[in-house]
Amino acid sequence: MWENDFYNEHDKMYIATDCIIFGFDEGVLKLLIFKRKVQPNKGEFSLIGSFVKLNEDVSEAANRVLEETTGLKNVFMQELKTYNTVDRDLGFRCISVGQYALIRIEDYDKVLVEKYGAMWYPFDEIPNLVLDHNTMVKDAISRLRRKARYQPIGFELLPEKFTIPQLQSLYEAIYQREMDSRNFRKKVLSFGVLIKLEEKDKTRSKKGAFYYKFDNEKYSELLSKGINFEI
């Protein structure tokens, strides 16, 4: 090793990762948190996180702990930023890489989450979290909002088949504001990346709304041409 006499076994640098997982559930934006069962901060609320092992990438560490803690597998997360100030953790130097995701909350997820002691908490009622985790959540939501403006992120976290009113309600949850249904429909359809299906969703209205699916091929094609998907 080279010029690195910085650390010895008593002065180590630790790397952790914390997951800011948003879920969308019947019109409500939720956040995945859990109540710590062990020290430190036993009994307090926390994001789900872990130290990063020497032989794993940061995203691997995050997926490992997510599966251990909630049963959720293969969640695609994006890096948010590092939390690296010298004094952020208690008693030792630890840098945490925040990672966020926005996923569909399916019924089976709810069961798993309950079983493991984690929970989906409505976004606007989030309690105090340990350390700088509330800051992480704040950073993540504003990043998510910005991102949603130039990527059709919304599509990624609805079921395979979804209706336009559903998609709209998702965007309304992300942005926390109401949108005009006529203009919304016009806009999303104008991208040309939605395929209309024959089938209708009759569970939430008498008339029923047509299902659509996302045209991944068309999407990558347009993306490579530098098209913007601002909603």
Residue 26 near residue 13, CB atoms below 8 Å: no
Kind plus residue range of the DSSP H or E element containing 25: strand 13-25
Judged by CB under 7 A, the chain residues 104 through 163 that form the site for DNA are 163
Question: Does position 227 bind a second copy by CB under 8 A?
Answer: no
Residue 23 near residue 144, CB atoms below 8 Å: no
Judged by CB under 7 A, the chain residues 186 through 205 that form the site for DNA are 186-187, 200, 202, 204-205
Binding site partner of 187, from DNA, a second copy, none, Cβ cut-off 5-8 A by kind: DNA
Number of residues that bind DNA (CB under 7 A): 20
Residue 120 near residue 25, CB atoms below 8 Å: yes
Q: To the nearest whole angstrom, how small is the minimum distance from the Cβ of residue 184 to DNA?
A: 9
Question: Does position 76 bind a second copy by CB under 8 A?
Answer: no
C-alpha distances (whole Å) from 10 to each of 25, 51, 92, 142 are 46, 17, 10, 38
**Member of 91, 107, 125, 225 binding a second copy (CB under 8 A):** 91
Judged by CB under 7 A, the chain residues 36 through 95 that form the site for DNA are none
**Member of 37, 177, 207, 225 binding DNA (CB under 7 A):** 207
**Member of 20, 21, 52, 140 binding a second copy (CB under 8 A):** 52
- Cβ partners under 8 Å of residue 5, min gap 6: none
> DSSP letters of 160-211?
SSEEHHHHHHHHHHHHTS---HHHHHHHHHHTT-EEEEEEEE-SS-SS-EEE
Binding site partner of 25, from DNA, a second copy, none, Cβ cut-off 5-8 A by kind: none
Q: To the nearest whole angstrom, how small is the minimum distance from the Cβ of residue 45 to a second copy?
A: 17
> What does the alpha-carbon distance between residue 222 and residue 57 come to, in Å, rounded to a whole number?
31
Residue (40 or 127) nearer to a second copy, CB: 40
Please report how the helices 133-150 and 164-175 are oriented relative to each other, as an axis angle in degrees rounded to 10.
Answer: 130
Q: Which residues bind DNA (CB under 7 A)?
A: 163-165, 180-183, 185-187, 200, 202, 204-210, 230
